[in-house]
């Protein structure tokens, strides 16, 4: 997917890590929680409107990110949502959660405090690990 294909509001708050099988993978700049955003390559706005085969492939990408969050990052819970009320472009949120995190047990929306940013080294490491776990094709980060 090209950067120009992704809504500027998503890019403004995220690192564009690379591309999965069916989607672009973004990571929220706020490093307080691992908050990934999967942007499927489609003009449709809602996941449930995708043809079954495409939907299955997008869900497989999301499941791979969930596996990364649980097995590599060590989070026991993953929140998964597709809202699109502010940014209509289809994008799916996959967020690592654990008891005692910055928002626990509340949802992250409206409750997430500002946190530090990711270091270049951490982003690079995660891209390499995501390539192994989820098949990410990494993108050069600015």
Per-domain residue ranges of the chain: 3-135
Global pTM reads: 0.96
How many C-beta atoms lie closer than 10 Å to residue 72's C-beta? 16
pLDDT single digits (tens) 74-133: 999 999 999 888 999 999 999 999 999 999 999 999 999 999 999 999 999 999 999 999
Yes or no: domain 3-135 corresponds to CATH 3.30.428.10: yes
Binning pLDDT at 50, 70 and 90, where does residue 3 land? confident
Contacts of 63 (CB under 8 A, 6+ apart): none
Angle at CA 33, nearest 5°, toward 74 and 124? 75
Binning pLDDT at 50, 70 and 90, where does residue 28 land? very high
pLDDT for 72 equals 97
Enclosing H/E stretch for 18? strand 14-19
Q: What is the mean pLDDT of residues 50-56?
A: 97
Q: Tell me the pLDDT of the chain averaged across its residues.
A: 95
């Amino acid at each position: 997917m090209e950067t120009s294909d992704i809504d500027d509001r998503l890019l403004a708050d995220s690192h564009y890590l690379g591309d999965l099988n069916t989607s672009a993978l973004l990571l929220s700049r706020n490093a307080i929680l691992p908050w990934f955003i999967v942007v499927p390559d489609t003009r449709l706005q809602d996941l449930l409107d995708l043809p079954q085969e495409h939907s299955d492939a997008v869900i497989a990408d999301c499941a791979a990110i969930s596996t990364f969050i649980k097995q590599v990052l060590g989070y026991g819970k993953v929140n998964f949502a597709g809202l699109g009320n502010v940014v209509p472009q289809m994008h799916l949120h996959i967020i690592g959660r654990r008891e005692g995190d910055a928002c626990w047990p509340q949802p992250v929306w409206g409750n997430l405090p500002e946190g530090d940013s990711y270091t270049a080294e951490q982003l690079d490491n995660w891209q390499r690990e995501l390539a192994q776990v989820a098949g990410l094709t990494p993108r050069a980060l600015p």
